Amino acid sequence: MDKSVKGDNMKIVCISASNTAYMGENSASTRVCRLIMKTVSSKIPEASVRIIPLMNQKISFCLLCGDCSENGLCPYDESFNYIFSHLKSADVIFFVVPHYAPLPSKLLALFEKIHEILYGSLIKIPQFESPFENTYALVIGHGDLVESRETLNYYHEAVIRPVANTLASFGCEIIGYSKEYPKGMPFGLMDETCIQFSGDSVFPEFIHNWDIIEERINTLVDNLVSAVKVRAVNQI
């Protein structure tokens, strides 16, 4: 599939994979998506960015019924179809994924259904080309452990790498963060004072250093811009 690499019509979708309903728009993953939108607006001003928080979607688990083979959509899950349609038409996809156990359940349900649709299409049409061919994918993985080389490596291996590998299996081109973190960008908490308890909730409040996170997002988006330029040159 020939997808655009020009900023003037680039479509970007940012998936917030958080399930933390009580945080709503203030969940760390969704706030990161808004920072991505801000950064993209400054570096690729003509691009459009759509944020899709999975917490707002009622994605059901795949039943492996095969009924999606008729038209490449799930006849029983409008939430999935909504997300899938936007992902298929995107030139760039960001996935912002919090560490749970280790991955959020709605994200796994989304991936499972995408896999079955692509697999079913390939069985029916041997020359089938994935709609994600030439789609750039960038993964941010994060959690509520204090940052150290050990914890960042853990987030990269336990959260980012499996998500990136899944997206690559769909046909996406993965944009990494650095040589140390080639599959995506990890982040955690700066120190123990970032974990604060109150009597109003069973969950602690996690205080993130948004300036540092934004700096890392800038680097990640710069990597995307570089990849877009290289592809544009190669297509001449």
Domain architecture of the chain: domains with CATH? 7-234 (3.40.50.360)
Task: Measure the CA–CA gap between 79 and 60, rounded to whole angstroms.
Answer: 8
Residues whose CB is less than 8 angstroms from the CB of residue 64 and which lie 6 or more positions away in sequence, other chains included: 116
With a pLDDT cut of 70, the percent of the chain lying above it is 96
By three-state DSSP, how is residue 27 classified?
A: coil
Residue 143: its pLDDT value, please? 94
Side chain identity at residue 207, one-letter code: I
Angle at which helix 161-170 crosses helix 105-124, to 10 degrees, equals 20
Note whether 99 and 54 are within 8 A (CB): no
Q: How many residues can be counted in the chain?
A: 236
Of residues 36, 68, 29, 60, the one with CA closest to residue 50: 36
pLDDT at 108 over 70: yes
Largest CA distance in the chain: 61
Task: Measure the CA–CA gap between 214 and 38, rounded to whole angstroms.
Answer: 9
Cis peptide before 75 (omega within 30 of 0): no
- What is the value of pTM for the model shown? 0.93
pLDDT digits (tens, 9 = 90+) for 5-45: 555 689 999 999 998 877 778 899 999 999 999 999 999 99
Taking residues 117-132, report their average pLDDT: 89
Phi, psi (rounded to 5 degrees) for 159: -110, -55
Taking residues 216-231, report their average pLDDT: 96
pLDDT at 1 over 60: no
Residue 166: its pLDDT value, please? 98
Note whether 177 and 185 are within 8 A (CB): yes
